[in-house]
Each structure stands twice: as C-alpha cells, then as structure tokens.
A and B are shown apart, each in its own frame.
Chain A
Amino acid sequence: MDGERNLGKLIGAMMPELREGEFVFCTLSPERYEELGIQPVGLFREEEGITLILQRDIAEGAGLAYVYESCMITLSVHSSLEAVGFLAVITQTLAEAGISVNPVSAYYHDHLFVPVDKAELALEVLNRLVIEAGQER
C-alpha cells in the first residue's frame, strides 16, 4: 500500500492548498446526470440519487439547484487510505474554530470542502497544525 501513514509526518507534510473557484453540492437522478454530460470533481451514488461536487459555475450553467457553497482545500501529502486518525485531527481542529467541513478522501489526496467565507481561516488553522508538527511551509 503506497502513501504515508505516520500521523505526525502526515500532518507535518500535509501542505494544505486552497484551490481556485467555488464548489457546490447537488443531487440528481442517474438519468439526468447522463443527459447533462457535465464533469463534476466528485461523484457518489446513493439509493436516493447521485451526489455531485462541482464548480458552482457549472452547476448554475446546467440549471442545477445546489447547497453548501464551499472552497476546496487539498492536502497535498500523499496519504494512505489506511492512515488512522489523520482526518480526525483535522476535522476536530476545524470544529474548534467553528468551521464545518466535508472531507473527501480520494486515491492520492484528501480534500476538504469548507464554507467560502471560512476558507482563509481554515487554511490558517491547518497551517498552524503543520507548524505544531514541526514542519513549516
């Protein structure tokens, strides 16, 4: 299994990066999704329907209703999908700062969706975790 598992190392090396643009969450039927032919950044299938995470511009262009206008922070460290407690530390710290977060773990990286107006604060809080782990940006 590739990817870092050591918690201190993961946090010290996470290099949070704020991505350009605003993202939103939408839900729609599989048929409607096929029809639209849009490219979301994230997709999850539930019994009730498909969830899309995508750029707000794309959602608006397709006339989709959306919730949770957010910024995407990518943790640049290549984390193992089997790492224990990494996201727990991050979500707990963000919670202490009063920031809601929807994390998505993809194959290579973890991505955090945080409210647009809290993005800079979230970045500051994450960078401090990095400093406390003894590594700086």
Chain B
Amino acid sequence: MASAAPLSTQPWLPTYGWWPPASAYVLRVVLSPYHHSVDPRAEFAFTLRGYGGAATPAWEHEVGRLGHGEQRVVDLSSLDLPAPPPAGGVLEIDSVRTDEPPQQGRNPYIGMWLDARGPNGGGYLIPTIPIRGAGKTIARDDLQVVPGVMASQEVETELVLLNPVDETIEVRLVASSADGLASESKPFEVAPWSAFHEDLSGRIPRLRRLLAPSGGLGSLAIYSSHRILPYFAFRRPGQPIVSMDHPAPIFG
C-alpha cells in the first residue's frame, strides 16, 4: 500500500502543491533538475502522490530515476486518477537526489513546478514548497501575509490553503484596508491532508465594504496553528484565474 514520503529514512523533504479538481484544470508537473543543480553527475528519483483527506495517498505515480539533463512533464489527466474532493486535494512531489544527501547550508528539498490550465484559458504556474518536516527558518511560523488582496464587484480573491501534515490546522484570516482598518474571519479548521478553497469575501465579514475606499484593494494576514501552505489568486466575473502565488513569510 502506498504511503506518504518517509521523513525518517530519506534526507530530502517532499514538496507540496494543490491537486485541483480535474474539471477545473489540466495539471502538468514539470520535473527538471536545472532548478536544483548544475552538477552533471546529479541523479534524481521522482514520485508523485495525491491526498484527499487521509495520510494514506489516494494515488501514487512513480516517475522513476532521471539523470541531470533529463526532464519529464507529467500530465495528471493522463494517469487515470481518482477525483479529489470538491475543494481539491494535496499533491506531494517526492523529489530525491540519489547521488548525495543535502549539503550543509542548502535547503534539503527539491522544488518542482506545477503548470495548470483552465478549460477556458488561464490557470497558474507555481513552484512546489516543503511544509511537512521543514525546520523553522523564518521569523514567524504562525503568520504569512498577502500584500494586495482584492474584493469588489469587479474582482474576487480565491484562497487555497493546503494542510499536508497529520494534525488539524486552525486558521484565522485578518484583512486590512490600505489605511489600516481591519476585519477578521472566525477561526476555522483545515483537516489533515486536505485542501481549503473558497472566495475570501465569503470568510471575512464585510470585506468588500472594508476595501472599497482603496479601490477594492487591501492586504491579508493568515494566522495558522501550524505552518500551512496558502495560495491566492484573483478572478474577474466570468473569467478564469490567471496565476496563483504564495503569501510572504515574515522574514527576520
């Protein structure tokens, strides 16, 4: 039976991204060594896994070993996968460098890229990020910020929160207008190995009114009881999103 990337027996941390509903996006995983190493002797092994609310993967796809210079684009729609939950699931990219362990002072993970395309255009392109097993390297593990969120009749902010750990994560969202007025959501939970996907104005009371004086623009603070992986995107009425990005960690 498939299981999550083992943190105790391999030195490279897995990275994560959103496994979106197949009806919403065609998702391709771009696996390339160039984002990690220029060493022509480097060798890698890749395994993809999808999670839909349980620590046991709903599916696993072993890509195999690639030498430096070899690249693969894996189209998830070609893999005959089960459907994720309505909000999507968690995608694990288990990238391991097989010829050497992580070097001192270097990040012990190998991020790859997700290229998602909507049926009517748009989509997003985003690198995968470690969460599970990642050490504390930033000033605030409980807080990330999004400079520039939007809520108005013309634009909505979509928020995706990924929880790739075994514990439930409690989240609180605080939106603020350009001049510092704030409104916050009630705390809510993101279950283990699950994705949360909602419009921001559905979670934060009177968000459109809060942001109206600054043209529907403001910023967002995301508090979480464990480090979580958020993404955000903007959507105009009747149009697809065109990008997703991660919030800013609080650097020291």
Chains A and B bind each other: no
